[in-house]
Chain A
Amino acid sequence: MSRARRSRTKANPRRQILLLKTAIWAIGVTPVVWLAVAFFQRDLGVNPVEKIIHIQGRWTLVFLLAAMAVTPIRRLTGWNRIIQVRRLVGLFAFFHACVHFLAYAGMEQLFALQYIVADVVDRRYITAGFAGLVLMIPLAVTSTRGWIRRLGKRWQKLHRLAYVAAGLGVLHYFWKVKGDTFWPLLAAVTLAGLFAVRLVHRRKSRRR
């Protein structure tokens, strides 16, 4: 019997987390690598910049919602160790949001500050998206062990802002689309569902 098989039968929890983290890295990095290759091969269609922005926006929301889902999954399944991947998922959400914004600011607006500022001020969907991105910055910065220790109880409070950031992201998406609200609504329902799990759990633990 090989070592790998033996350890799988033992259901090594560390190994599970390692595998999960590897998968998250793979899923997190692939879209950006794929987009970069496709861009230089001129394989992104007639409006490549728009495609990059759209795809990165979607991945941002996927990772944000996935990060929000970690705690509910933990509570529903009792798999406590899953909490160990939450930071990685959240940081990938921030990473995709940064690529999304840089593609917009650089490739779309060519870093022309006056147009970017005008967009952020005038267009509500960009206002919402930009606010969401800005909110994610302190969360990403304070995601380190050192900051968690330093902030203590306040860290949890601060990181509830993730819900606000995700809400702004969904709103940004909803306001952007023209009639085809199916996907933004699905994202909104998912986020609301995750929030509901949190509220229900909170009430239960208070009653106890």
Chain B
Amino acid sequence: MIIRVSKRSDIPSSEITPESAYINRRKFLGASAGIGAAAFLGVDPVRADTAFPGGHRAHQDDEPNTLEEITSYNNFYEFGTGKEDPSKRAHALVTSPWTVKVDGLCNNPADYQLEDFIKPSTIEDRTYRLRCVEAWSMVVPWRGFPLADIISRADPLGSATHVAFETLWDPEQMPERMWRPRIDWPYREGLRLDEAMHPLAFLVTGLYGKDLPNQNGAPLRLAVPWKYGFKSIKSIVRITFTDEEPPTTWATQTPREYGFYSNVNPDVKHPRWSQAREKRIDGSKLFGYRWLDTQFLNGYADEVGHLYEGMDLKKYF
């Protein structure tokens, strides 16, 4: 694989290549300008990214959703199951000070203050598609840094195979409600270590160039754009390296419907709805959305497809 990262001084590729190729290349660059490639070439990812105004764009057809859309239609069950509940209630969440515990099978376990956790990384903007398992989708301009940064600093042991994540669980800030689902809190998620190390796996600290609103998972959340949205865990307080597949909330709650991998896959039906299509939230349309065909791995197959070579994705859904 050829990895080429442009520098500011390069002739913009838009001047020498047709637009479609340019856009594809831009997509490729955004995807590849991860920590590994960047470190190897001695170019920092933000420089590479800013060589193309607008940063990494998820797809040529994809216009980002509005801030209003992204911040008023959320799944964050700790604050209620209605899509508008988090935007109404999550303001109660205290996001500063915030401690992230890194533990498990790694050489550098520690309790980090959020600022210290973020400081060594270079913040960049990345626009990703977000495909919810409920068959709606948005395009979100996140701000953050690669998850691989943190993993490298934690320095996992050779025996570590997976990374587990935990959301804050604080009944004081997330008051008990009769109708809240009976879930075994805190919310848990996880990734295979190689998935977590992939340059597309992103730790998010902001949205539209500003601080992350609470309902979107402030102050620190994951964005794993090739997996269903619930994998992109919010308000992270703990990152643990394990030597086995960690239990994750939805796969434990309803194993028939949700698997550990939960890769976006139009060919694997959810028992309660088809995953072949998705409603892209679009306020310019009369009904507020337009139908799109869902893409394998949410359109990121070129980048992450190799992670699943030889796996039966119908079995490991």
Contacts and interface: CB of A to CB of B under 8 A. Distances in A.
A179 B277 CA distance: 24
Contacts of A118: 274
Contacts of B279: 47
The dominant DSSP class at the B interface is loop
A175 B180 contact: no
B87 to A, nearest CB: 10
A123 B272 contact: yes
Nearest to A125: B272
A56 to B, nearest CB: 15
B287 A107 contact: yes
Interface in B275-294: 277, 279, 281, 283, 287-289, 291
B136 interface: yes
Contacts of A48: 287-288
B73 to A, nearest CB: 4
Given A178-B181, A182-B178, A49 B288 contact: yes
B73 A45 contact: yes
B81 interface: yes
A124 B272 contact: yes
Contact of A123 (B271, B281, B287, B291): B271
Contacts of A178: 81, 181, 254
Contact of A49 (B181, B253, B289): B289
Given A118-B274, A123-B273, A46 B288 contact: yes
B183 interface: yes
Interface string B54-73: 00000000000000110011
Nearest to A103: B287
B210 interface: no
B91 interface: no
Nearest to B75: A178
Interface in A92-114: 107-108, 110
B272 A182 contact: no
Contacts of A176: 272
Contacts of A44: 288
Nearest to A46: B73
Nearest to B253: A179
B77 interface: yes
Contact of B77 (A45, A110, A179): A179
B182 interface: yes
Contacts of A47: 73, 83, 136, 279, 281, 288-289
B274 to A, nearest CB: 7
Contacts of B8: none
A46 B181 contact: no
A12 interface: no
Interface string B282-317: 010001110100000000000000000000000000
B272 A179 contact: no
A181 interface: yes
Interface in A42-56: 44-50
B40 interface: no
Contact of A179 (B73, B136, B183, B288): B183
A44 B84 CA distance: 11
A180 B181 contact: yes
Nearest to A181: B181
Contacts of A50: 83
A183 interface: yes
A122 B73 CA distance: 27
In the A-B complex, list the 3 residue pairs whose CB atoms are closest, starting with the nearest.
Answer: A179-B181, A182-B179, A46-B73
11 contacts: A44-B288, A46-B73, A47-B73, A47-B288, A115-B274, A122-B269, A123-B273, A125-B272, A175-B272, A179-B254, A182-B178
